[in-house]
């Protein structure tokens, strides 16, 4: 890592060096103790694939030249039987993918060098333990031997000897295991383990490159939207040993608590162990910091000088990276070595706390803090937490590895988790320890429970990254994956039984436990206040009930961007009148029913407008096809017929006559206002009466925006606007404390194309990007789920266009309509009320094209505030 050419080109080169190699070079540059090594770049990974999964000759030459430098530097020889050099071969993608690719340690050991290692170290046990680890990793990763086979051999051997722990194994025992492992490699592959150390190294490098395309890595990239084309770098590094004796250890630490975000040094270690033991969750490690509970076992107590040194290291690294670090270290005979540092993965709550506290500490600016928290993480914070009653006693406790409450039936394998989740059944995946191959099952599960492994095991790290609740290292719980049972004292559970876990506390309960709404981290308000100061876009909510409106206000909504009036008819009283109105035989009868509906509807608007206290409220007139309000089953039709006093046959004929082939493109939206003007007139009367009444009772004027859906052109708009202005005039809006605007939804390509002329009659545009996506792409939002997954899998579409705006098509129409609307009526108010209004990537786009606000579901308001701020900060930086 000390090569000058690398040092000179370090900054910004982690796309080439990969995260691991880049950070090792940085640490070396900072003067920290890093075992020497070399990085094979991601460009070499591409060359490897282009050459048909081969290491081109010139690449091999470069590797050997660098290994020679390493040999010289350390006074050791690769394959030497006097002073053998052993190396680790590790993957290191530009974006961290913990545990998803492969690693091989102790490369360079063979039947001869192991003897030299045994003699030199005076510790044959260590030498043969290291050799069997190489055989195991190499056999599994490079030669394709079943991972399980090695575990079974070791298990049977220990059983025969009456051992329980690996630490009971002697040098001779490991020697026996080495022989058995070599045999299983031959049995399963027909080839012996390569004794030629050079062959070992090239095979290991190739295998790590190939692991870029293993199933779990692909799955992880898909999950976290990491590009397939990045490729991985490979780090070859001189081995240091944490398993040479009691003056050795290995550990993982975080510069702050990754679960809560508290500014405390947080980590775990294992005395006399090799690195992978901690992260793979094979043994449950000990804490780094001293507490009353550690009783002399913490790293701080057992190795105080090194603990102090490690504290200094973490301070240096956190200052350098200005972010929380996840550090791997090894102690070899009382000397500290750093094997890795990277930006630490953290829970959603921790990301908020860390960002805010780092800004307070002046380590970062408030703008940087705002950009540190992923808007999606805020949605995770909205998850409910457990509220156990006094009789709900946990039967066991593990480590609170990833926060959140989760409940479901017990399953014991990833496959089972996936199968049950497909059936829509909620599951908790229980494993003794999780291996990276479990990732698909972890994604399918509500929560994860392990009996081994610590807070830094892969299970914990990956779960935190996915926002999936996890309790790890619940050592009093015996999980038997073969028998599919979970036992703990008198508790005896089997697959299919209900279980609840609490990732906040680590508690585990039998059965289902009540939940309470999420408790948001204290620091969130401050972070959002910084976001509010940085953003330009206003954030509104889509809400129509008093409950939703209160939620929206609580989360900081600055208005209602879409009040879907159809949702107000969902209560029984109004629904009955609505049905009677739709099925009325003639105009007079319809008008009579509408008169009865009006006061009820007016009350809905009074509630919402009062709660909003003068903040803008956009009320949209009726939109869905009328048959959506009518019953479809025989039983429901019979009941309705009884209520209306008509016979069922006549009623069902009438209902069928309202059926349409393509209702979404049919008799809906403002077309209802054209064919049933009385409905819109009733709504307008109710809205204006409500607004005038509220205006008398609140301090500020009522900012009322009435909106027409599914407009296609000017002629239609003029007719409908007249219904509204007539009603407003009759009510006496003019000169009152009601500030009325009449606008339209731009949700059809026709409206976008005619936006210039529509702006002459409309006070505002609200882009209905749901319908606009549907009609621009000719894609039904109700049926797209049948084929969109195939498009995603075949990479024909980067994202679901209903979730994230398709910039070149739907986005282009929005951009164009906004520009022509603005040209015709400068300053015309422009907003978005489709689902995209709550999607961070779409918000970024809406910010760049100069819209005034986005409107989204109440629970997404905090995320939208943050995303809008990030968009503005990003735009400021790029200018
Ligand atoms: C839209 O089409 O984007 C919209 C907000 O309206 P709805 O989803 O109610 O059709
Ligand atoms: Mg719509």
With a CB cutoff of 8 Å and minimum separation 6, the contacts of 233 are 16, 17, 18, 20, 21, 39, 40, 41, 42, 44, 45, 91, 92, 93, 94
With a CB cutoff of 8 Å and minimum separation 6, the contacts of 442 are 414, 417, 429, 434, 448, 459, 462, 463, 466, 468
Q: How many CB atoms lie within 10 A of CB 822?
A: 17
Q: Is the CB of 769 under 6 A from ligand 1?
A: yes
- Specify which residues 89 forms β-bridges with: 104, 236
Query: What b-and-e string marks burial along 678-695, b requiring 16 or more CB atoms within 10 Å of the CB?
Result: bbbbbbbbbbbbbbbbbb
SS3 assignment for 39-62: EECHHHHHHHHHCCCCCCHHHHHH
Q: Is the CB of 271 under 6 A from ligand 1?
A: no
Q: Are 624 and 668 in contact (CB under 8 A)?
A: yes
pLDDT < 70: residue spans in the chain:
1-13, 279-282, 383, 436-437, 456-458, 465
**Ligand 2 center to 792 CA (angstroms):** 24
Q: Are 644 and 651 in contact (CB under 8 A)?
A: yes
CA atoms of 443 and 323, how far apart (whole Å): 27
Q: Which of 834, 854, 856 to mutate to test the pocket of ligand 1 (most atoms within 8 A of CB)?
A: 834
CA distances from 584 to 205, 332, 403, 590 (A): 77, 87, 55, 5
CA atoms of 178 and 193, how far apart (whole Å): 11
Q: Which of 770, 832, 838, 857 to mutate to test the pocket of ligand 1 (most atoms within 8 A of CB)?
A: 770
Ligand 1 nearest-atom number relative to CA 747: 2
Q: Are 114 and 234 in contact (CB under 8 A)?
A: no
**In what helix (H) or strand (E) does residue 491 lie, and over which residues does it extend?**
strand 491-494
pLDDT at 388: 84
Q: Which of 709, 804, 806, 856 to mutate to test the pocket of ligand 1 (most atoms within 8 A of CB)?
A: 709
**Ligand 2 center to 769 CA (angstroms):** 7
CA atoms of 766 and 852, how far apart (whole Å): 10
Ligand 1 nearest-atom number relative to CA 836: 3
Ligand 1 nearest-atom number relative to CA 769: 3
**Ligand 2 center to 549 CA (angstroms):** 20
Q: Are 808 and 833 in contact (CB under 8 A)?
A: no
**Pair type for strands 702-708 and 738-746:** parallel
Nearest to 832 by CA among 485, 537, 607, 507: 537
* Dihedral sign for Cα atoms in the order 632, 636, 639, 644: negative
Q: Which of 747, 803, 805 to mutate to test the pocket of ligand 1 (most atoms within 8 A of CB)?
A: 747
Helix axes 587-612, 572-582, angle to 10 degrees: 150
Nearest protein Cα to ligand 1, atom 3: 768
Q: Is the CB of 562 under 6 A from ligand 1?
A: yes
**In what helix (H) or strand (E) does residue 92 lie, and over which residues does it extend?**
strand 87-92
- Helices marked H in 583-705: 587-612, 634-644, 648-657, 670-675, 677-697
**Ligand 2 center to 626 CA (angstroms):** 15
CA atoms of 100 and 439, how far apart (whole Å): 9
* Dihedral sign for Cα atoms in the order 763, 764, 768, 773: positive
Q: Which of 663, 670, 671, 745 to mutate to test the pocket of ligand 1 (most atoms within 8 A of CB)?
A: 745
Determine the 3-state secondary structure of 851 from DSSP.
Answer: coil
Nearest protein Cα to ligand 1, atom 6: 768
Q: Is the CB of 366 under 6 A from ligand 1?
A: no
For residue 86, give both structure tokens.
């052993």
Q: Is the CB of 623 under 6 A from ligand 1?
A: yes
Q: Are 118 and 128 in contact (CB under 8 A)?
A: yes
**Ligand 2 center to 17 CA (angstroms):** 48
CA atoms of 613 and 624, how far apart (whole Å): 29
pLDDT at 516: 80
pLDDT at 329: 96
Burial of 492 (0-12, 13-18, 19+ CB in 10 A): exposed
**Nearest-ligand number for the alpha carbon of 766:** 1
Ligand 1 nearest-atom number relative to CA 774: 2
CA distances from 805 to 618, 784, 814 (A): 22, 15, 10
**Ligand 2 center to 22 CA (angstroms):** 49
Nearest protein Cα to ligand 1, atom 4: 768
**Ligand 1 center to 832 CA (angstroms):** 10
**Nearest-ligand number for the alpha carbon of 770:** 1
Helix axes 861-878, 524-534, angle to 10 degrees: 50
CA 635 to chain centre: 44
Residue with tokens 């679960």: 259
**Pair type for strands 829-832 and 764-767:** parallel
CA atoms of 857 and 851, how far apart (whole Å): 18
Q: Is the CB of 566 under 6 A from ligand 1?
A: no
Q: Is the CB of 834 under 6 A from ligand 1?
A: yes
**Ligand 2 center to 620 CA (angstroms):** 10
Residue with tokens 């000990």: 286
- The strands making up 470-472's β-sheet, listed across from edge to edge, are 396-397, 507-510, 498-502, 405-411, 427-431, 447-450, 470-472, 399-402
What is the secondary structure of 399-445 as a DSSP string? Answer: EEEE-SEEEEEEE-SHHHHHHHHHTT--EEEEESS--GGGHHHHHHS
**Nearest-ligand number for the alpha carbon of 802:** 1
Nearest protein Cα to ligand 1, atom 1: 768
For residue 652, give both structure tokens.
């069902």
For residue 520, give both structure tokens.
């948001």
CA distances from 232 to 14, 215, 286, 592, 676 (A): 11, 15, 32, 72, 63
Q: Are 181 and 153 in contact (CB under 8 A)?
A: yes
For residue 338, give both structure tokens.
């750093």
Phi/psi at 492 (nearest 5 deg)?
-135, 105
Q: Are 468 and 402 in contact (CB under 8 A)?
A: yes
CA atoms of 499 and 428, how far apart (whole Å): 7
List active site positions: 458, 833
**Pair type for strands 37-40 and 233-238:** antiparallel
pLDDT at 4: 37
Q: Is the CB of 184 under 6 A from ligand 1?
A: no
**Pair type for strands 399-402 and 470-472:** antiparallel
Q: Are 489 and 317 in contact (CB under 8 A)?
A: no
CA atoms of 607 and 626, how far apart (whole Å): 25
CA distances from 36 to 62, 69, 637, 661, 704 (A): 16, 10, 79, 71, 68
Q: Is the CB of 833 under 6 A from ligand 1?
A: yes
- Helices marked H in 30-168: 42-50, 57-74, 113-121, 124-137, 147-161
CA distances from 35 to 38, 277, 673 (A): 10, 19, 75
Q: Are 500 and 406 in contact (CB under 8 A)?
A: yes
Q: Is the CB of 747 under 6 A from ligand 1?
A: yes
Q: Are 90 and 234 in contact (CB under 8 A)?
A: yes
**Ligand 1 center to 787 CA (angstroms):** 22
Q: Is the CB of 87 under 6 A from ligand 1?
A: no
**Ligand 2 center to 771 CA (angstroms):** 5
CA atoms of 544 and 548, how far apart (whole Å): 7
Query: What b-and-e string marks burial along 769-791, b requiring 16 or more CB atoms within 10 Å of the CB?
Result: bbbbbbbbeeeeeeebeeebeee
Q: Are 317 and 228 in contact (CB under 8 A)?
A: no
Ligand 1 nearest-atom number relative to CA 766: 5
| Cα separation of the two ends of the chain | 36
């Amino acid at each position: 890592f000390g090569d000058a050419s690398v040092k000179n080109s370090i900054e910004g080169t982690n796309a080439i060096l990969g995260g691991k190699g880049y950070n090792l070079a940085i640490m070396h540059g900072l003067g920290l103790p890093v075992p020497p090594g070399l990085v094979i770049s991601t460009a070499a990974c591409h060359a490897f694939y282009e050459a048909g999964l081969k290491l081109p000759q010139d690449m091999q030459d470069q590797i050997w030249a660098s290994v020679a430098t390493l040999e010289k530097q350390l006074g050791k020889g690769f394959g030497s039987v006097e002073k053998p050099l052993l190396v680790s071969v590790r993957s290191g993608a530009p974006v961290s993918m913990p545990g998803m690719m492969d690693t091989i340690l102790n490369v360079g050991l063979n039947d001869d060098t192991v003897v030299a290692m045994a003699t030199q170290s005076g510790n044959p046990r260590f030498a043969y333990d290291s050799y069997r680890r190489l055989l195991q990793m190499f056999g599994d990763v490079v030669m394709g031997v079943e991972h399980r086979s090695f575990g079974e051999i070791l298990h049977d051997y220990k059983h025969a000897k009456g051992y329980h722990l690996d630490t009971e194994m002697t040098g001779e025992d490991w020697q026996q295991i080495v022989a058995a492992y070599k045999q299983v490699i031959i049995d399963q592959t027909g080839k012996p383990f390569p004794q030629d150390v050079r062959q070992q190294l090239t095979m290991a490098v190739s295998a790590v490159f190939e692991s870029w395309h293993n199933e779990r890595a692909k799955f992880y990239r898909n999950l976290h939207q990491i590009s397939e084309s990045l490729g991985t770098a490979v780090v070859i590094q001189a081995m240091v040993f944490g398993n040479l004796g009691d003056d050795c250890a290995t550990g993982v630490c975080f510069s702050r608590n990754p679960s809560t975000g508290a500014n405390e040094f947080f980590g775990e270690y294992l005395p006399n162990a090799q690195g992978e033991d901690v992260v793979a969750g094979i043994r449950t490690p000990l804490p780094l910091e001293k507490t009353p509970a550690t009783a002399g076992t913490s790293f701080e107590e057992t190795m105080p000088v090194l603990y102090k040194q490690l504290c200094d290291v973490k301070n240096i690294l956190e200052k350098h990276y200005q972010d929380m670090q996840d550090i791997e270290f090894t102690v070899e005979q009382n000397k500290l070595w750093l094997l890795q540092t990277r930006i630490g993965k953290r829970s959603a709550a921790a990301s908020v706390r860390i960002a805010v506290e780092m800004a307070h500490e002046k380590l970062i600016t408030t703008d940087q803090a705002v950009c540190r928290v992923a808007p999606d993480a805020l949605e995770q914070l909205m998850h409910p937490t457990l509220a156990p009653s006094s009789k709900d006693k946990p039967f066991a406790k593990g480590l609170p590895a990833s926060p959140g409450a989760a409940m479901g039936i017990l399953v014991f394998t990833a496959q089972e988790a996936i199968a049950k989740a497909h059936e829509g059944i909620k599951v908790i995946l229980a494993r003794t320890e999780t291996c990276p191959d479990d990732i698909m099952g972890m994604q399918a599960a509500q929560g994860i429970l392990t009996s081994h492994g610590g807070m830094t095991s892969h299970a914990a790290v990956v779960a935190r990254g996915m926002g999936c609740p996890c309790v790890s290292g619940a050592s009093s719980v015996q999980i038997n994956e073969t028998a599919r049972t979970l036992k703990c004292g008198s508790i005896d559970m089997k697959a299919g039984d209900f279980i609840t876990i609490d990732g906040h506390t680590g508690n585990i309960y039998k059965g289902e436990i009540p939940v309470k709404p999420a408790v948001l981290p204290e620091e969130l308000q401050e972070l959002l206040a910084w976001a509010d100061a940085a953003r330009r876009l206003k954030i509104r909510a889509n809400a129509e009930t008093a409950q939703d409106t209160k939620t929206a206000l609580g989360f900081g909504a600055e208005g209602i961007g879409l009040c879907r009036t159809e949702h107000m008819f969902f209560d029984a009283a109004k629904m009955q009148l609505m049905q009677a109105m739709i099925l009325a035989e003639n105009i007079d009868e319809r008008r009579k029913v509408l008169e009865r509906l009006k006061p009820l509807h007016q009350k809905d608007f009074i509630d919402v407008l009062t709660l909003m206290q003068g903040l803008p409220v956009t009320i949209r007139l009726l939109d869905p096809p009328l048959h959506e309000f009518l019953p479809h089953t025989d039983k429901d039709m019979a009941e309705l017929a009884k209520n209306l006093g008509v016979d069922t046959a006549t009623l069902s004929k009438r209902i069928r006559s309202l059926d349409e082939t393509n209702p979404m493109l049919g008799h809906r939206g403002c077309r209802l206002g054209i064919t049933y003007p009385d409905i819109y007139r009733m709504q307008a009367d109710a809205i204006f009466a409500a607004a005038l009444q509220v205006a008398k009772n609140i301090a500020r004027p009522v900012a009322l925006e009435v909106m027409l859906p599914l407009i296609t052109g000017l002629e239609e708009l003029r007719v409908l606007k007249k219904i509204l202005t007539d009603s407003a005039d009759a009510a006496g809006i003019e000169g009152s404390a009601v500030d009325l605007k009449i606008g339209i939804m731009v949700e059809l390509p026709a409206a976008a194309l005619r936006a210039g002329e529509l702006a002459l009659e409309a006070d505002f545009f609200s882009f209905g990007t749901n319908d606009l996506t549907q009609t621009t792409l000719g894609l039904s939002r109700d049926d797209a789920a049948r084929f969109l997954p195939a498009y995603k899998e075949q990479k024909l579409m980067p994202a679901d266009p209903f979730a994230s705006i398709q910039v070149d098509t739907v986005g282009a129409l929005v951009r164009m309509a906004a520009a022509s609307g603005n040209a015709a009526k400068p300053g015309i108010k422009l907003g978005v009320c489709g689902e995209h209004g709550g999607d961070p990537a779409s918000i970024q786009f809406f910010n760049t094209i100069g819209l005034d606000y986005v409107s989204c579901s109440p629970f997404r308001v905090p995320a939208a505030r943050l995303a809008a701020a990030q968009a503005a900060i990003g735009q400021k930086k790029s200018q």
